[in-house]
Each structure stands twice: as C-alpha cells, then as structure tokens.
Structure 1
Amino acid sequence: MPTTSDPLAWLTSLEGVPSAYAGSRDGIDVLLRDRGLRRTRPEQTGESLLRGAHASAVLEGSESSLDSVRAGDLDETAAAAVRISTELLGLVPVITSSPLQAFARVHTLAGKGVVGDDALGRPVDAEAAARLATLSRTILTTEVPALMLAALVHAELVTVAPFASHNGVVARAIERLLLVARGVDQASLTVPEAGHLALRAAYESNLRGYSRGGRAGLHSWLLYAAEAYSRGAEASPLNG
C-alpha cells in the first residue's frame, strides 16, 4: 500500500479508481500469462512498438497509415514516433533512476530535425522545468499502482507541454516506458497508444478536463485511462 508520505496516495481513495485499475491489470496479466509470455518473440515486441508509434502519431495529427509506417513511407510526425520506438526500451533503466534524463532523450528523438538543437530535450521555460522536476520526483517516490502512475504522468506531460514540439508523442512514449519499467508489461506487448486511439473522442475530452484542473477532471481521466489500458491489451500482437 502507498505510504502516508506518498504524493499520490490519495488517488487510491477516489471512487471506482482502485477497482478499475485492478480490472485493467488483471486483464493484462491474463493476456500475458495465457498467451505464454516466456514463448513470445522479439518480433512481437517490435510489432507492438510499431503499432504504438503509428497510433501515437495519428493522435498527434499524422495521416500515415499503419501499412505505410511498416513500409517506411512516413510523414514527419510518424517518423518522430518511430524514432522514439526504436530506442524506447533502452531507456528502461533511465526512467527508474533519472526520469528527467528519460524525458529529455525521448524529446530529443522526437524533435530531431524539426526544432533547433538548442531546444531538443530542454523545457520551454522555467515553469515547465519546475513541473518536470516535480513529476520526476513523483515517479521516484510514489508507490501507487504502475498503471495509475503511467496515466497521471501521461496527462501531466500532455497538459504541461514542456517541450517545443511533440509533447503528446513524448507523453505516450513515457507512459509505455513506465509500464515496462514498473513490471506491468516487461516485454512491451500491449499497445496503450492504440487504446487511446480507439477511444479518441474520450481521450481528448478527458485530457481537456484534466488540463482545467480540479478533482473531477483528474478523477475522470483516471477512470478513462483504465479503460484505455484494457483496449491496449486487446490491440496486442498476441491477439493476432
């Protein structure tokens, strides 16, 4: 259980949230266990990352199809998402020890060739830097369930928009990274980005609610994200 000093401990008392996340985690665990996690292939992880990159790019405005992404025919936004996907799992040790460094690297991958070198991986202003520092400390200190933490970090990165570009793509990549690093999906076989795309109207609406601040918006976002993670499990290459 979260300790009393945990900055996110209070989230576990929000109505319906613990049961929603327990249900989502159970669904992911069943998928990975029943499909034989030990027998999965690296190609399945690669396919999950590719599907996730495509879905994240579409949410960011890309018009590239999944087939075109597979073929390497990419618009700029899809190319950014794919660049991140090729290095993302290598950042697992980084997100657990230095989240700020992981945030910076993911944005550097996304923004390469799009924004100036002096903007790559750097917060846009002092306020953004402070928010990222707070978020990093939260990642390092909280003991709330990993899915809940990933959802909160995702929403924070989107709404704070700390970088000069690609904040949504960065947020969704960090979300996936946390699910791997926190042991929810160590082989990265679920596709949370596809879950958000499948629920796009609710995704965008709940992010707007979260950005307005207040308990109600946060509560709604957390409930929404639990459903999105279940959809992300359905989108896994393990399901065909």
Structure 2
Amino acid sequence: MPSVVDVIANLRALADLPGVPERITAAREACERVRWHEALRRRIPEAAAESRVRGAQASAALEGATVPLDLVRDVMRGAAQWPLQPDPVELVARGAVNATAESEHVRSLVASAPLQALARLHVAAASDLVPSDQLGRPRIEAESSSEFLDLGAAPLASALRDRLELLVAVMTAGAAVPALVVAAVAHAEIATTRPFVRGNGVVARAVERALVQATGLDPTGVVVTEAGHAAQGGPAYLGALAAYGTGSPEGLGLWIGHCADAIVAGAVQGEQICDAVRAGRLT
C-alpha cells in the first residue's frame, strides 16, 4: 500500500491534471458566492436544512428512487412519516434521507475518524435494506455487492482492507490537497470499491457532502452536491465513475471535472435556496 505521503503526492498530482486547476477554481468561487450570500448572515441552519432536503431527494433519484420533494421535506422536518409498509422505492429513499441527515452529524468525523463516519452513514443508509449483522461493516468473504454493475464486478472482500486504508488516507489528507480532489476521490473510491453489500452510492454521496463541508469548501452546508450530480444525469454520473475506474489520467481528470461541475451546479441551487430563505418562501 502507498504511504500517506505517497497518497498526498498522488492527490496533488490529480489536482494538476490538464483542465483540473480551472475546474477547482470554478468550484471554489461558486461556493464562495454561496458563503457570502446575504441570507446566510443569520439563517444558515434554515438554508442548510433545505440543502439536505434537496440533496436527499437527488441522492435517492440517482438510486432510481424518485419521491416528491415535499414528502422528503415533511419527513425531514418531522411533519410526515414514511408508510408503515414502505415499498422498495420508499425504502431506498428513506435510506438516502437518513444518510443525508446523518452527514450533518459526521462532518467532524469524516476527516479525523473516517471509518467511524462510514459506519454511521451506512447504518443510516441501509438499516431497511440489509440484515442487522451487515450494517456498519465492510463486506466479508462470500459477500458481494450487486450495485454499480456497470462499473464491473465489485472487488473481492479480501481486497477491501487495502482499499479502505487508501480511502482513509484520502479522507484524512487535510489542507495539503485541494478539498475538491479529496471529496471527489473519496466519493469515487466508495462507489467503485463498494465496501458494503448495499447502500454504497448513498454513502458515497453523503461522504462527499460531509467532506465538502469539513474541508472548508462549503462550510455552510448549503451547496447541494447531490443535485449537481443528478442534474448531469445518471448515465453521465456512471460514465464518469467508470472513467475514474480506468485509473488513466484522462479518466481521473474526467471524474474530478464531473465533481467540480456538480459542485458548481449545486452551488447555483444553494443560491436559489438562499434567495428563497431571504424572501421568506421557506419556513
């Protein structure tokens, strides 16, 4: 396994790939516009809560579970509940809602205790989808994952230890690496490695959201990163992940560019949220 120093050097190299520095700058500037929006002077919690609502809906949609935004909002603010006997779509959506909500609570852990953060997010995402003995832990021998099959077969459980060590090194890289690169690579590593039997995509997007906040790129938590991915379409999302999986400079650059575009689009939606908060359209 590469040392932490090697991982940081490799991540820095990704930040210098052709076209990537400009995308990093664009994402940072988009987040700064949100950060200094007038509505956030006193109402960050309100705007961040709405961001999680929209992020949860978008994350669920990327899993093929489309649910009304008003339902997600009402569930997350405690004004509604899921059906007593939810259908498969509602089960997946509930996992996305729970994991996106939990991202707020693990933001202090993703860069300091990544495995603990991953475990908590997986419990939130998959409590209704897998047996209790599979929650919050990586796959073991004889367990596989049928998610992201367009990316090829999931790595064997025996290979997960090294990949998770790499993921931890990425998530704890700190200020030595641009925040966008850290968040993008962590997202892709979870999605391509598939450490869990189910819930990997939801966990990957929740980790990205938490890292974008924890690393200071979006300290307000108002940028809707998940909606930025969804806006580009499911095929583009999977295609960019597949490009990352090739390990080529071109593929890695394509994925990081995709994530940068997602953050820019998510920041635009964040500004719309701020406008609605300032105008009193969100209560």
Category of TM-score, reference length = shorter chain: over 0.9
1:145 paired with 2:181, answer no
Q: 5+ residue gaps in structure 2?
A: 76-80, 83-89, 140-156, 277-283
CA 1:64–1:36 in structure 2 vs 1: closer, same or farther (change >3 Å)?
closer
Give yes or no for contact 2:91–2:128 (8 Å, CA) kept in 1.
Answer: no
Q: 32-41 or 190-199, which moves further after superposition? A: 32-41
Q: CA RMSD in A?
A: 1.8
Q: Trace 1:1-240 onto structure 2 (pairs within 5 A).
A: 6-72=9-75, 75-124=90-139, 125-141=157-173, 143-200=176-233, 201-236=235-270, 237-240=273-276
Give the Å deviation of 1:98.
0.9
Q: Partners in 2 of 1:41 and 1:137 — Cα distance?
A: 31
Amino acid of the residue matched to residue 82 of structure 1?
A: V
Q: Partners in 1 of 2:66 and 2:129 — Cα distance?
A: 18
Q: 5+ residue gaps in structure 1?
A: none
Give yes or no for contact 2:173–2:182 (8 Å, CA) kept in 1.
Answer: no
Amino acid of the residue matched to residue 66 of structure 1?
A: L
Identity between Structure 1 and Structure 2 (%):
39
Equivalenced residues, count: 238
Give yes or no for contact 1:100–1:133 (8 Å, CA) kept in 2.
Answer: no
Amino acid of the residue matched to residue 15 of structure 1?
A: P
Task: Please report the TM-score for the alignment, with normalisation by the length of structure 2.
Answer: 0.79
Task: Please report the TM-score for the alignment, with normalisation by the length of structure 1.
Answer: 0.92
Please give the per-residue CA displacement for 1:186-235, whole angstroms capped at 9, x wherever unaligned: 22001000000100132221112222332221111111211111000011
The residue aligned with 2:152 is: none
Please give the per-residue CA displacement for 1:74-121, whole angstroms capped at 9, x wherever unaligned: 501110011123322111221121111111110011111321121111
Larger radius of gyration: 2
Amino acid of the residue matched to residue 214 of structure 2?
A: A
